[in-house]
Amino acid sequence: MQHINTLPSTGFNTFIKSAAVLATGLSLSLLVGCNKAEQTSAAAPEAAATAPAGEQASIRIATEGAYAPFNMTDSSGKLIGFDVELVNALCAEMKAKCEVVAQDWDNIIPGLKTGKYDAVIAGMSITPERAEQVDFSDSYFKNSLVFVAKKDSTLNPEDKPALEKVTLGTQRATIASQWIKENLPKTDTKLYDTIGDAFLDLEAGRLDAILADTAPVVNWLSTGKPDFAVIGKEIDNNDNFGIAVRKGDPLKDKFNTALATLKANGTYEQIKSHYF
């Protein structure tokens, strides 16, 4: 079962300020929608594991491209964000030649399993259900969930009977949608292909509230949404993001080694500070 902790006001304010700086810096480049880039070639399942002597390993990595600040698409169609910057650092450490491609969320694990790419770095939570299909690296980010609604909303997330009388939005096939299903099974829930689509419906008044990962909510609020706010307490459900690879792929160990090095030499924290 998940437990709920109060989100410290000082930490949250710092998070808002950091996200606001990011939003300002990227204001000319961020897009709300998801770039469903067409995949033109498929990497063979063994492509990332070995490379001819003297050549760099070639790794194809998928991300969603619609989950700011983890991954998003700028006005030129380029993938950017925390996940993408982390990919670049990991590949540099691994001395690998990497290509990052966009893939819609619903098909991101099937695409990995069929060899369309070699890994997924897309703010993906490590869950038992997913771990039955893919292998995960060590955690690279600790996640939590929050509700967001109109600032003048009287909705109390701790009042379960009240929540069962409203319309909630979230992205399909996510930890947030799973939390709603397990904890609020009677609530009218609308599922969206991207969290950006849910935010649009919240602004249009078609939703009473959204449940989503804390970082994307804070990032969205920082882009000029004075009429909306986080309501209630942060939900700490022991959720961690990991890098997904195919079952038994030795690429997992390579990512773990590189990730440990980036954390030890300060590179990981430097990248993280750009976004959080």
Same domain, 16 and 56: no
Is pTM, for the whole model, over 0.85?
no
Per-residue pLDDT of the chain (276 residues; tens, 9 = 90+): 333 333 443 344 444 444 444 444 434 333 333 333 333 333 334 444 455 544 567 999 999 999 999 999 999 999 999 999 999 999 999 999 999 999 999 999 999 999 999 999 999 999 999 999 999 999 999 999 999 999 999 999 999 999 999 999 999 999 999 999 999 999 999 999 999 999 999 999 999 999 999 999 999 999 999 999 999 999 998 999 999 999 999 999 999 999 999 999 999 999 999 999
Sheet of 188-192: strand order equals: 3-5, 228-241, 141-150, 209-213, 167-171, 188-192
* pLDDT reported for residue 56: 62
Same domain, 110 and 173: no
Same domain, 119 and 203: no
The amino acid sitting at 190 is K
Q: Which residue has the tokens 């650092």?
A: 89
Same domain, 130 and 175: no
* pLDDT reported for residue 52: 53
- CA–CA gap between residue 244 and residue 173 (Å, rounded): 16
Residue 95 buriedness (CB in 10 A; 0-12 / 13-18 / 19+): exposed
CB atoms within 10 A of CB 87: 23
Same domain, 122 and 196: no
- CA–CA gap between residue 217 and residue 130 (Å, rounded): 24
59-68 pLDDT tens trace: 999 999 999 9
* pLDDT reported for residue 250: 97
Report the DSSP pairing between strands 244-246 and 228-241: unpaired
What is the CA angle 167-73-115, rounded to 5?
95
Same domain, 232 and 266: no
Q: Which helix (H) or strand (E) segment is 230 a member of?
A: strand 228-241
CATH at residue 262? 3.40.190.10
* pLDDT reported for residue 125: 96
- CA–CA gap between residue 30 and residue 32 (Å, rounded): 7
* pLDDT reported for residue 23: 42
99-142 pLDDT tens trace: 999 999 999 999 999 999 999 999 999 999 999 999 999 999 99
* pLDDT reported for residue 57: 77
In terms of phi and psi (left: phi > 0; alpha: psi -120 to 50; beta: otherwise), the region of 256 is alpha
* pLDDT reported for residue 83: 98
- CA–CA gap between residue 65 and residue 75 (Å, rounded): 12
* pLDDT reported for residue 194: 96
Listed in order, strand segments (DSSP E) in 154-202 are: 167-171, 188-192
- CA–CA gap between residue 114 and residue 129 (Å, rounded): 18
CA 108 to chain centre: 13
Positive or negative: CA dihedral 111, 179, 209, 185: positive
Same domain, 222 and 246: no
* pLDDT reported for residue 51: 54
Q: Name the β-bridge partners of 5.
A: 234
Same domain, 201 and 247: no
* pLDDT reported for residue 12: 41
Same domain, 231 and 99: no
Same domain, 62 and 128: yes
Number of domains in the chain: 2
DSSP output for 134-154:
EEE-S--EEEEEEEEEETT--
| Domain encompassing residue 53 | 31-140+242-273
Same domain, 71 and 201: no
Same domain, 77 and 128: yes
Token pair belonging to 184: 């609020």
